Structure 1
Amino acid sequence: MSLVLTVLSIVVGWMYFFAWSISFYPQFRTNYKLGHIKGYSKEFGFLNLSGFLAYFLYSLWGYLEPSIIPGIVDIQDIAFAGHAFVLTLLLIIQCNYYERDFFIVLKLWTKIFVACAWLISIVICSIELAGKFPHAGGNFNGCLWLGYLKVTITLMKYFPQAIKNYLRKSTEGWSIENVMLDFTGGSLSILQIFIDGANSGDWNVFGGGGSFNIAKFCLGFTSIVFDIVFMYQHYFLYRHPPEAKRNLELNLSDG
């Protein structure tokens, strides 16, 4: 173990924690400034809340019992997941303030998916905690299920927002600062994984005790991919919102 790499991992870890944690605040400001949440996907927010609850439980469980998951769970992972869950909950409360029917108008598939996911999670985790879970060779358990659930939700949650931007032909109401900070946090979180791997020399993805935290890697990678999509929408596809675009076309025609 290298002291330099250990210190570098800690520094990068807290950098990703602050970048990803700060990324939640600009959306509050955007909603407040506009006075509505017409550009913010309700499905994205609802899935985000469930995802971060799963990730917090996964990270805390993996940190307390490191032998049950592959990869290192850093203290920054727990701090980020807990902070993210609280901020997402507060954001949904703000959204409900602007639109009282926030939960009522959620698409049915979102409600069904979240309800089924947590029902299965309760069953699996209860069996695991009772010590009666068949560990399938050590490659699956209740804690890992929560990690897989978070990865699944992350893969799903960005689509409603990207589709909403596409249908509106605008990213107004969707904070680009949030996207930029999310991209930074995702990149740094993946960098920390590789630093930990280089430090330990163990790149075992599926066996216990390795440094490659597969759930954390998937979260970071997925965030980066969709953040690139959002940046392309904001800076290229929908640079001018529909109303501004029409005004620009009228000004050009008058000239």
Structure 2
Amino acid sequence: MSSWKSRPLGIAYQTLGWISFISWSFSFYPQVILNYRRKSVVGPNFDFLVLNVTKHTSYLIYNAVLFFSRAVQRQYREKYGFGEEGLVAANDVAFSMHAVLLTLFTLYQVIIYERGNQRVSKTCLSISAVVWISAIICVILACRRHTWLWLISVFK
């Protein structure tokens, strides 16, 4: 992350970012705990879980690459200017990683607990397949052209 020109603004950015991380992360636990206590996943929409894991994985790819890759950070600054502050903060990466893990854990609960006659819809599976096939095609195109910033923007 870039350094802030104003120390108080940088501290506020970091503080609010971690408060946001804690708040949003907390929202995953009630369903996981309820599923565990009941040993059942009857009720939650499975399509929502599948689409959520796709969304959060995409967001994780964007955050992690922009946070850790100096090449992508350079491409970002060349395109948008060198004065950009805080491209992606550590709390963004932490949240997206946490969201993927908790959503995958909830999907694991779908596999092991009683689920009644609930299923993931064919529409949801089709949409998810199109999204991930498109992502794979974009990765292939980006590898040929070394357009990493464009690639992670696809995942945003």
TM-superposed CA distance for 1:86, in Å, is: 0.9
User: Deviation of residue 100 (structure 1)?
Assistant: 6.5
**2:97 pairs with 1:82:** yes
In the alignment, what sits opposite 1:143?
152
Q: Which protein shows a greater Rg?
A: 1
Asked whether the 8 Å contact 1:36–1:98 carries over to 2, the reply is: yes
Point out where structure 1 has 5 or more consecutive residues left out of the alignment.
148-255
Deviations 1:94-114 (A, max 9, x none): 122124688x82111100111
Give the drift of 1:8: 0.7
Partner of 1:190: none
| Residues in 2 aligned to 1:29 and 1:53: alpha-carbon distance in whole angstroms | 22
CA contact (8 A) 2:41 2:115 kept: no
Deviation of residue 83 (structure 1)?
1.2
- 1:23-62 alignment, distance < 5 Å: 23-62=27-66
Aligned-residue Cα RMSD (Å) equals 2.4
Under a length normalisation based on structure 1, what TM-score does the superposition of the two structures give? Answer: 0.50
- RCO greater where, 1 or 2, for CA within 8 Å and sep 6 or more? 2
Distance 2:24 2:42 in 1: 24
CA contact (8 A) 1:125 1:143 kept: no
Deviations 1:68-106 (A, max 9, x none): 38672111111111111111111110122124688x821
Q: Give 1:212-223 correspondences, 5 Å limit.
A: none
The answer to whether 1:8 aligns with 2:12 is yes
CA distance in 2, matches of 1:24, 1:132: 36
- Does the residue aligned with 1:141 lie in a helix, a strand or coil? helix
Partner in structure 2 of residue 98 of structure 1: 113
What displacement does 1:59 show?
A: 0.7
The TM-score, its normalising length taken from structure 2, stands at 0.80
Percentage identity across paired residues of the two chains: 26
The separation in 2 between residues aligned to 1:131 and 1:76, in whole angstroms, is: 31
Deviation of the 1:60 alpha carbon: 1.2
Distance 2:108 2:145 in 1: 37
Mark the runs of 5 or more structure 2 residues left unpaired by the alignment.
Answer: none
> Structure 2: how far apart are the matches of 1:47 and 1:28?
17
Q: May I ask how many residue pairs the two structures share in their alignment?
A: 141
Residue correspondence of structure 1 range 1-255 to structure 2 within 5 A: 1-63=5-67, 64=69, 65-66=72-73, 67-68=75-76, 72-99=87-114, 105-131=119-145, 141-147=150-156
2:38 corresponds to which letter in structure 1?
L
C-alpha distance after superposition, 1:2-31 (max 9, x if no partner): 100101101111111111122211111111
One-letter code aligned to 2:142 = E
Alpha-carbon distance between aligned partners in 2 of 1:125 and 1:76, rounded to the nearest angstrom: 26
